[in-house]
Structure 1
Amino acid sequence: MVGGRFAAVGKHPPSRRYLLVLSCIALLGVALVADFLWASSTTAAASPYFSVEKAIGLLPPAPRKSGKPKKGDAEAVKLSAQKGELNATFADLPAPQLEWEEMAEAPVPRLDGSAVQIKNLFYVFAGYGTIDYVHSHVDIYNFADNTWGGRFDMPKEMAHSHLGVANDGRYIYVISGQYGPQCRGPTSRSFVLDTETKKWNDLPPLPVPRYAPATQLWRGRLHVMGGSKEDRHEPATEHWSLAVKDGKALENEWRPEIPIPRGGPHRASIVVNDKLLTIGGQEGDFMAKPGSPIFKCSRRNEVVYDNVYMLDDELKWKELPPLPKPDSHIEFAWILVNNSIVIAGGTTEKHPVTKKMVLIGELFRFNLDTLEWSVIGKMPFRIKTTLVGFWDGWLYFTSGQRDRGPHDPAPRKVIGSTWRTKLHW
């Protein structure tokens, strides 16, 4: 019957030569696909750094509701990149070029670490080494002689990342934070370090655990504000304070204070001119995948904001002029100099087409005399959760997660490099 069907339409059965050609084409296609997969896997394995974006499922970008980016948007992005029109595409702001000098490398790379400067010493705490490994020690950088040293351990019960940290010039208060790697939840445990003796003591635990809360000493009390709740994603607006002196708590329990107007983690908190300020931050963050035995991170929606709030003498929150653009992951990325706040790097809103995280490479200055923001320079590269200090006219930064290159602001390498630039204005 098959032969009759071919005869009816005037054709002949396929020849052996035709079948042989088809087989060769199919085998060639299989070989090309296998070669591509092998090259991709070896390239990824060769990198000595880890990418949080890739490790926790940020790459490839989540599909839009329509299934794919609009054709016009994708073509516009591609054309802009070819022409070098990157500022508009990736929301980089015009900024002066600065001269940067690379300093001594930190002992380990860190993401979501914490830092405190006391005179010429920079105490750098904890953080991720990889998505599956967290540091549990402190390294010290000496601005005066450009050396790292004096490593010592943290308490075993202390959180390993996303800490709330403040200091009084000798004692460093470490509040709550995330315990363990991947996307484990926060702890309520809190501690204080005597930097002269290197001894740790307990503080009263927070009423409930918090993830990356804004923390500062103000008027003799330790203030802890916002952050994320135990699920790591839901914004918290609670605000507590605890009376402390010389590294000791003067009370057994934290006192409720006026809630912060907008909750969430990864914001800067600063005390200046006897005012308490919070800057930037975000609502939402990665969560642990339900049922994952290792609390594997899974993507959730995030909203980055530009709000600046100040707690005044009337103990009421007032809103100040916003940042030049939304900025998050800046809790230790600021300094105070010449009655100004300088903020280095961070993250802003996700790319409108790729939906990838976009890192920031500008230096923002907030003039406290005029209450005006300006962009005062560019960093060597875009970077988030960097740790910033200031010594002898130089701005320093170390650690964090940098971009993929000048033309791609998505996160890639976790670094331990240290840089500095002279500030002029």
Structure 2
Amino acid sequence: MARPAAKALPPKHLVALAVVAILGLFLVADYLWASSRSAAPSIWPSRVDISTRPTASPPPSANKQTKGNASTGSMDISATFADLRAPELQWEQMAEAPVPRLDGAAIQIKNLLFVFAGYGTINYVHSHVDIYNFSDNTWGGKFDMPKEMAHSHLGMVTDGRYIYVVTGQYGPQCRGPTARNFVLDTERKEWHDLPPLPVPRYAPATQLWRGRLHVMGGSKEDRHEPGVEHWSLAVKDGKALEQEWRSEIPIPRGGPHRACVVANDKLLVIGGQEGDFMAKPGSPIFKCVRRSEMVYSDVYMLDDEMKWKELPPMPKPDSHIEFAWTNVNNSIIIAGGTTEKHPINKRMTLVGEVFRFNLETLEWSVIGRLPFRIKTTLVGYWDGWLYFTSGQRDKGPSNPSPKKVVGCMWRTKLHL
């Protein structure tokens, strides 16, 4: 028996099928386009997601119109995702640092900015100190660090003469941390040992507070898992008064790349992230691979009762700011950093704003914009001028993902 002929579909059904097919092709093409554009910054390897931790929601400001007139609900989101409106500042370029640095450290003592260590490239780390003189705007006075001292992700603070250097990563790529600690006598350029931490940490929040050296948070030995432990050590005039670190109240949220500030006899910890690059399993050079990260805007304060209190959060999540701050006229000034990744192409997004936290009103504001977005920059303040040097800058005005490691120095007159 002959098979009966199929009935022809009505024209309206054919139109519906055509629309569905076109939409399917569009979605596939869009997925392939986004995947092809997920390149990582030049100093770091390609992104490898091994964690299922969800990322944090974008800040409220990110849901508003951005500089490129595109919202997060649109498929053509501006590459300037999460830029906040900010006044323009007049920046002046100064003498460039002797070497470019990423994840270095800096401490200001009077008119001198001591700049330490850091990556030159992902395969090369610095092991010396450069000094910038704010009085005559020149670099000079280079000297070596101890061979056993970490090269990046350091905790560091000063009492006005002695610089205490705590733990950090030893070597290039994503090598392991060291528990070794040191103190530098800046007048004599002499180094001395301090008791080691109970366990090593990457980029812990570090400060001197009420006669004790406080170290908290950071990343654990795998470089990715956040630590919440908090230790302190009694110190005076560059010497430890104890041989062992004392356990203190844990920090409410762990992780590296935070600003840690003492102001008005209070200890504050600002911003940061959970998660970071880590060494690829089995790699003989500890090659860095990326795991998921969650950047946050949290601000915590340790009070007289030795209890943590939560203060108003930053205007948006911000990390890589451990040496990107200064205290001016009872306000904390923070420059640059990294925020949440672009919601579509998942690139790391650098920060180009200058933030102010008024310690009298406990209010945040955006007081300016940097010449470009930059992370792990090193900040100083002298004679009314705000300075920043080094770090990793963006790919251009319309592309906030990281590219070149720089050593440039800029300044602007700060009016608060």
Q: 1:101–1:385: structure 2 CA closer, same or farther, 3 Å change rule?
A: same
1:328 has 2:346 as partner: no
Secondary structure, aligned partner of 1:259 = coil
Of 46, 52, 56, the residue aligned with 2:44 is 56
* Alpha-carbon distance between aligned partners in 2 of 1:142 and 1:78, rounded to the nearest angstrom: 39
- Give matches, 1:127-166, under 5 Å: 127-166=118-157
Supply the AA of the counterpart residue of 1:233.
H
The answer for the alignment partner of 1:286 in structure 2 is 277
What RMSD over aligned residues (CA atoms) do the two structures have, in Å? 2.2
* Alpha-carbon distance between aligned partners in 2 of 1:252 and 1:366, rounded to the nearest angstrom: 36
The answer for the alignment partner of 1:113 in structure 2 is 104
1:189 has 2:180 as partner: yes
* Alpha-carbon distance between aligned partners in 2 of 1:161 and 1:286, rounded to the nearest angstrom: 13
Of 254, 261, 269, the residue aligned with 2:260 is 269
* Alpha-carbon distance between aligned partners in 2 of 1:231 and 1:295, rounded to the nearest angstrom: 11
User: Cα deviations across residues 387-423 of structure 1 (Å, max 9, x unaligned)?
Assistant: 0000000000000000000000000010000000001
Q: Could you tell me how far 1:424 is from its partner in structure 2?
A: 1.2
Secondary structure, aligned partner of 1:353 = coil
1:404 has 2:395 as partner: yes
Ranges of 4+ aligned residues in structure 1 off by more than 4 Å: 59-62, 76-81, 85-89
Q: Calculate percent identity across the aligned residue pairs.
A: 78
Answer yes or no: is the 8 Å Cα contact 2:40–2:347 preserved in 1.
no
Q: Could you tell me how far 1:88 is from its partner in structure 2?
A: 8.6
* Alpha-carbon distance between aligned partners in 2 of 1:53 and 1:218, rounded to the nearest angstrom: 37
Q: 1:349–1:145: structure 2 CA closer, same or farther, 3 Å change rule?
A: same
Q: 1:112–1:310: structure 2 CA closer, same or farther, 3 Å change rule?
A: same
1:296 has 2:287 as partner: yes
Of 392, 399, 423, the residue aligned with 2:414 is 423
With normalisation by structure 1, the TM-score equals: 0.82
* Alpha-carbon distance between aligned partners in 2 of 1:197 and 1:78, rounded to the nearest angstrom: 52
The answer for the alignment partner of 2:365 in structure 1 is 374
Q: 1:242–1:133: structure 2 CA closer, same or farther, 3 Å change rule?
A: same
With normalisation by structure 2, the TM-score equals: 0.84
Q: Could you tell me how far 1:152 is from its partner in structure 2?
A: 0.2
User: Cα deviations across residues 268-311 of structure 1 (Å, max 9, x unaligned)?
Assistant: 00000000000000000001000000000001000000000000
Supply the AA of the counterpart residue of 2:138.
T
Supply the AA of the counterpart residue of 1:292.
S
The answer for the alignment partner of 1:219 in structure 2 is 210
* Alpha-carbon distance between aligned partners in 1 of 2:129 and 2:136, rounded to the nearest angstrom: 19
- Give matches, 1:226-375, under 5 Å: 226-375=217-366
* Alpha-carbon distance between aligned partners in 1 of 2:175 and 2:87, rounded to the nearest angstrom: 40
Q: Could you tell me how far 1:53 is from its partner in structure 2?
A: 2.3
* Alpha-carbon distance between aligned partners in 1 of 2:384 and 2:340, rounded to the nearest angstrom: 32
User: Cα deviations across residues 189-238 of structure 1 (Å, max 9, x unaligned)?
Assistant: 00000000000000000000000000000000000010000000000000
Aligned residues: 361
Q: 1:86–1:365: structure 2 CA closer, same or farther, 3 Å change rule?
A: farther
Q: Could you tell me how far 1:360 is from its partner in structure 2?
A: 0.3
Answer yes or no: is the 8 Å Cα contact 1:56–1:296 preserved in 2.
no
* Alpha-carbon distance between aligned partners in 1 of 2:341 and 2:326, rounded to the nearest angstrom: 26
Q: Could you tell me how far 1:185 is from its partner in structure 2?
A: 1.3
Structure showing greater Rg = 1
Q: Could you tell me how far 1:54 is from its partner in structure 2?
A: 3.3
Secondary structure, aligned partner of 1:53 = coil
Answer yes or no: is the 8 Å Cα contact 1:222–1:244 preserved in 2.
yes
Answer yes or no: is the 8 Å Cα contact 2:102–2:118 preserved in 1.
yes
* Alpha-carbon distance between aligned partners in 2 of 1:402 and 1:188, rounded to the nearest angstrom: 30
